[in-house]
Amino acid sequence: RKEVEQDPGPFNVPEGATVAFNCTYSNSASQSFFWYRQDCRKEPKLLMSVYSSGNEDGRFTAQLNRASQYISLLIRDSKLSDSATYLCVVNMWGFQKLVFGTGTRLLVSP
Amino acid sequence: NAGVTQTPKFQVLKTGQSMTLQCAQDMNHNSMYWYRQDPGMGLRLIYYSASEGTTDKGEVPNGYNVSRLNKREFSLRLESAAPSQTSVYFCASSEHGGQNEQYFGPGTRLTVT
């Protein structure tokens, strides 16, 4: 089983739609969780950290479910500029590295 | 602050040639990383340096060497390039190991013919 798994998509949604991505992780010892955004031919950029209590940043909401070992990202009122690949990232306690999922591609159309 | 910088942005090598990819960060981060990204494979860790003076292998270290020159700089060397090393290479840094988010450089697009 992969350490971090994501649906590759693409998710095709119209502007204004709400879309959600899930990501599952295999190691219950994981402690830190992040969502990154990567535009075509660009570097990954941190979108938001994911906290145990869930957190929101504008139109973006991240949730963590430790019991089921998944994190989610909800995007409300999608914009054309949200079109990108979203990477789920997980760390295990005591480890010096992050594990990246292969990403979920989102395409927002007019 | 420039964040994480990488040079060169693009490079074409012939099989067997060598080259060094340079990375520098100005955020006073302790940990630095080298990844490669191939279509459909996601980011794969080549080497990392948890702190100045230490380096460790990642998931795909074969064919590469690294040097943590100082706290700011972390270089990746290909001693004898092979077509399988055609990829996009990203350098990243974080404040302290895996607990913190990583910040990425703009990448180096390498083609080996």
**β-strand pairing of B10-13 with B108-112:** parallel
Mean pLDDT of B11-26: 97
Structure-block tokens of residue B113: 């013919």
Instruction: Give the nearest chain B residue to A86 (CA atoms).
Output: B42
Q: Which of chain A's residues have a Cβ under 8 Å away from the Cβ of B56?
A: 96
The per-residue pLDDT of chain A, averaged, comes to: 92
Q: Which of chain A's residues have a Cβ under 8 Å away from the Cβ of B90?
A: 43-44
Residue B60, pLDDT above cutoff 90: yes
Alpha carbon of A44: minimum distance to chain B alpha carbons (Å): 6
C-alpha A89/C-alpha A82 separation (Å) is 19
Q: A interface mutation test: which of B38, B43, B47 has the most A CBs within 10 A?
A: B43
3-state secondary structure of A62: strand
The per-residue pLDDT of chain B, averaged, comes to: 94
Mean pLDDT of A43-72: 94
User: A97, B107: Cβ pair inside 8 Å?
Assistant: no
Residue B40, pLDDT above cutoff 90: no
Of B90, B98, B106, the CB nearest to A98: B98
Instruction: Give the nearest chain A residue to B91 (CA atoms).
Output: A43
Nearest residue to A73 (alpha-carbon basis) of A109, A103, A28, A97: A103
Of A32, A44, A96, the CB nearest to B104: A44
Mean pLDDT of A54-60: 94
Whole-number pLDDT of residue B102: 93
Of B42, B90, B98, the CB nearest to A96: B98
Residue pair B105/B90 in contact (Cβ under 8 Å)? The answer is yes
A104 inside 8 A of chain B by CB:
no
Whole-number pLDDT of residue A29: 83
**Residue A52: band (very low, low, confident or very high) from pLDDT cuts 50, 70, 90:** confident
Whole-number pLDDT of residue B96: 81
- With pLDDT > 70 as the criterion, what percentage of chain B qualifies? 99
pLDDT 10s digits, A10-49:
999 999 999 999 999 998 888 889 999 999 989 999 999 9
Q: Is the dihedral angle over the CA atoms B84, B88, B89, B93 positive or is it negative? A: negative
Mean pLDDT of B63-79: 96
Residue pair B51/B95 in contact (Cβ under 8 Å)? The answer is no
Whole-number pLDDT of residue A2: 80
Mean pLDDT of B77-81: 97
Of A34, A96, A100, the CB nearest to B48: A96
* 3-state SS track over chain B: CCCEEEECCEEEECCCCCEEEEEEECCCCCEEEEEEEECCCEEEEEEEECCCCCCEECCCCCCEEEEECCCCEEEEEECCCCHHHCEEEEEEEECCHHHCCCEECCCEEEEEC
CB atoms within 10 A of CB A1: 7
Residues of chain B that touch chain A, judged by Cβ-Cβ distance less than 8 Å: 31, 33, 40-43, 45, 48, 50, 56, 58, 90, 97-107
The span from the first CA to the last CA of chain A, in angstroms, equals 37
Residue A79, pLDDT above cutoff 70: yes
Spell out the residues 6+ positions from residue A52 whose beta carbon is closer than 8 angstroms to its own: A64, A66
A45 inside 8 A of chain B by CB:
yes
Residue A96, pLDDT above cutoff 90: no
